[in-house]
Amino acid sequence: MTNRDRLLGLAVVVLWGLNFIAIRVGLDHFPPFFFAALRFVVIAVPVVMFVPRPEVPLRWFLLYGIGFGILQFAFLFTAMRAGMPTGLSSLVLQSSAPFTVVLGALLLRERLRGTQLFGIAVAVAGIVVIGVDRAQHAALLPVVLTLAGGLGWAFGNIGSRLATASGGVNPLHLTLWMTVVPPIPLFALSALTEGPTTGLRALTDATSPSGWHALLGLAYIVALGTIAGSGLWTYLMSRYPASTVAPISLLVPVVGILAAWAAFGEDPTPLSLLGGAIVIAGAFAATKAGRRDEPAAAESVATVPEAESSDRPLGRQPQFVEA
């Protein structure tokens, strides 16, 4: 990787780490389901009008949109609204990495190496450490919800891979069109659980002097976190193997934790930091160990013309993407 592209990778890390600060600011004003829907609909409207629709199987496109767009952010935003610390959220969400590896083995028949199994076990141990610490100092439920968000993200990765298995798909167009899937289901969830007018009232109040910061947070998530961050990440993933690029995203929690400390005074406990370091080490081992010395991966359980080798990105999408 060139020095220029390393700098681009670090820029993505900073953009995505600060993205959790913007999410926290938005959630302090908007209800979680409505805010999740809002972040996607702002992108989806111009995408439908101006971006060519990728020709991919509908079922895998929907799996990508439901896993990455609906499940991940419905659980993550609910967890953060329920008290999950901002910095710790950026860390626990990296559980998507070992989840993706496990789902690839179960659903796509990808064989796991011993290093990957060891990395998964280490990551799980780190999550247990964080869970024990949270159970002692605060509610455990937000951690469980964040883990569910990581699992949803992993299902989205599988959908992305299957959608692009036949090749010839522009990964950036697929990423942008994914935003078309979440808004209606998330708006419906908001109306059913948060009230049919709660989100609209919050949106109206956001135009007041006391609510402008929520709109600023939304603007950051859309423009810098999603479009700029994901655009740069897609560029890097198109130039280098996933095993080279994906581990860079493990620096995102470092920025997220430091930014949350600076912005909100969040002071994670030593046990949480220890658990976080264990999770990152395990996720790195689980995703770094590519099967470069093995033949192409076995056929997927789904009807895919030709499965990709395990050290290629999931549908040329990053295994770690912004929140």
Question: What does the pLDDT look like over 209-222, one tens digit per residue?
Answer: 878 899 999 999 99
- Full-model pTM: 0.82
The rounded distance, in Å, linking the Cα atoms of 163 and 165 is 6
Residue 66 tokens, joined: 């439901």
Predicted pLDDT of residue 319: 44
Report if residue 148 sits inside a domain. Answer: yes
Predicted pLDDT of residue 241: 65
Q: Do 224 and 230 touch, CB atoms closer than 8 A?
A: no
**Residue tagged 């093995």 (tokens):** 294
Domain limits for position 229: 3-288
Predicted pLDDT of residue 51: 94
Q: Do 66 and 72 touch, CB atoms closer than 8 A?
A: no
Count of the separate structural domains present in the chain: 1
Report if residue 314 sits inside a domain. Answer: no
> Percent helix, strand and coil across the chain, each rounded to 5?
70, 0, 25
Report if residue 127 sits inside a domain. Answer: yes
Report if residue 186 sits inside a domain. Answer: yes
Residue 271 tokens, joined: 């046990």
Report if residue 70 sits inside a domain. Answer: yes
Report if residue 22 sits inside a domain. Answer: yes
**Residue tagged 């069109």 (tokens):** 177
Chain-centre distance of CA 223, in angstroms?
16
Q: Do 321 and 231 touch, CB atoms closer than 8 A?
A: no
* C-alpha radius of gyration, the chain, whole number: 19
Stretches where the chain sits below pLDDT 70 are 238, 241-244, 246, 287-323
Residue 312 tokens, joined: 């290629």
Report if residue 20 sits inside a domain. Answer: yes
The most distant pair of C-alpha atoms in the chain lies apart, rounded to whole Å, by 60
Report if residue 89 sits inside a domain. Answer: yes
